[in-house]
Amino acid sequence: MKDLGFDTKAIRTGYRTTTEQEHSEAIFLTSSFVFDSAEQAANRFSKKESGNIYARFTNPTVGAFEKKLAAIESAQACVATSSGMAAIFATIMALLKSGDHIVASRNMFGTSIVLLNTIIAKFNVGISFVDLSNLSAWESAVKNNTKLFLLETPSNPLGEVVDIAALSKISKANHVLLAVDNAILGPALQNPIALGADIVIHSATKYIDGQGRCLAGAVVGSADIIEQVHGFVRTTGPSLSAFNAWIVLKGLDTLSLRMKAHSDNALKLAIWLETQNQVEKVYYLGLSSHPDYNLAKFQQSGFGGIVSFEVKGGKESAFKIINATNILSITANLGDTKSTITHPATTTHGGLTDEERLNAHITDGLIRISVGLEDIKDIIADIKQTLV
C-alpha cells in the first residue's frame, strides 16, 4: 500500500502478529533466540538466512519500533538505541574516523556539546561550532576532512531555526553528511529527510514516548548509513531494550495528536505571556514576532511545545516565579504530558561561560516551559498567580 498518511503508518506499520494472534504488539523479553537445528544456527550466523540471533543484534519489538519510525519519515531504515545520546554517539563513531572533522551548531543540547568536546575530541576528530541559522558560516567552516554537519533545529530554548533544504545543498556540494537531531519537534512536526538531510537522530525519550517514562533513541537514514550505525550498536551494546521499545512504539500511535495538542497549548500560553507586564520578551516560533516564524511555518508542520520568556528582575524574579508555581513541575526534562518549568541559565546552560551564555541569549531572567497536555487555562492560571 502506497501513499498512506502519517497516522496510518504510525499505527499500522511494522509488526507481524505471531501464532497467538495478538492484536497489540507483543513484548519479546528474551535475550536470545533458539534455532531449529545446528544448520539453521550456522546459516543465521553466516547471514545466509535472515532472522533473530541475539537481542543486542535484533529483537522483534525493537524491530517494530524501527520499522514504524522509518515508515513515517519515508526513510529506508532505522536503528533504535538505548537513549538519544547513544544515538548521537553511535552515529559519529560509526561514520567517522580519526582525522575527520565535524561542523556542529553552537546551541545544541548541552550534553551533545560535552560529548563532542570531551569524548569525540579524544579520538582526534576536529570540531568547529557555528551559529545555527548562518548558512555561510556552515559553508566557510568546511575543511578537506569535514565529514558531518550536526545540528538541532529548532534550537532549545529560544527556537532558532536553520533552513534545512538550503543547508543540505551546501552539505551535498561538499560531500558532507547532514544529521539533524529532531528531538524538539519529533517526527510528526518535522521531516528533515524530506528536506534533504541524510540522517535524523531522535531522543525518543522526549515526545515519542511523550509521557516521561523511559529513555530511548533512534537513528534514521539510508540503508547504507543505518547498516553502519547498526554495526556499531550491535558490537558496542547500546541496543534498545524490548520493554522500552514497546513503550515508544505505542507512543508513535498517538504522536501526531499529542503534538497538535502540545502546539495548541503552547501557542495559547505564548500569546497570553506577551500581554503580561512583568514579561519582557516571549520566544515561541508560532508567534509572528519570532524572527524565524516564516521559515518555521514553511519547514515544520507545527511549532511544538517549548515556550521561553524573559521576566523583569533577572534571576531573583525568575526563581521566585518558578518556586511559586503549584502545578508545573520544576525539572529540566521536556516533551512530557506534564508541563515543566526550568531556569536555563543555571540548569541546562549552567556549564557555559558567562560570555557563551550571553551570546546564546540565555539571560538570567529567562524561563523555559515545556508545555504539557493539561488544560491550558490551569497552566496559565498557575503562572498568573506567580506574577503578582
Binding site for ligand PLP (CB under 6 A): 83-85, 109, 112, 152, 156, 181, 183-184, 203, 205-206, 215, 217
**Chain residue whose CB lies nearest ligand PLP:** 84
Of 167 and 311, the one with the shorter C-beta distance to ligand PLP is 167
Shortest Å, Cβ 82 to ligand PLP: 8
Cell numbers found for residue 50: 535472515
Of 89 and 272, the one with the shorter C-beta distance to ligand PLP is 89
Shortest Å, Cβ 304 to ligand PLP: 11
Shortest Å, Cβ 62 to ligand PLP: 16
Q: How far apart are CA 196 and CA 175, in angstroms?
A: 13
The 3-class secondary structure across 294-343, one letter per residue, is HHHHHHCCCCCCEEEEEECCHHHHHHHHHHHCCCCEECCCCCCCCCEEEC
Shortest Å, Cβ 205 to ligand PLP: 3
Of 183 and 379, the one with the shorter C-beta distance to ligand PLP is 183
Q: How far apart are CA 368 and CA 308, in angstroms?
A: 4
Of 44 and 68, the one with the shorter C-beta distance to ligand PLP is 68
Of 44 and 206, the one with the shorter C-beta distance to ligand PLP is 206
Rg (CA), the chain: 22
161, exposed or middle or buried, with CB in 10 Å at 0-12, 13-18, 19+?
Answer: buried
Of 198 and 209, the one with the shorter C-beta distance to ligand PLP is 209
Of 142 and 218, the one with the shorter C-beta distance to ligand PLP is 218
Shortest Å, Cβ 83 to ligand PLP: 3
Shortest Å, Cβ 88 to ligand PLP: 6
Q: How many residues does the chain have?
A: 388
Kind of pairing between the strands at 217-221 and 199-203? antiparallel
Shortest Å, Cβ 14 to ligand PLP: 21
Q: How far apart are CA 82 and CA 316, in angstroms?
A: 38
The 3-class secondary structure across 148-217, one letter per residue, is EEEEECCCCCCCCCCCHHHHHHHHHHCCCEEEEECCCCCCCCCCCCCCCCCEEEEECCCCCCCCCCCCCE
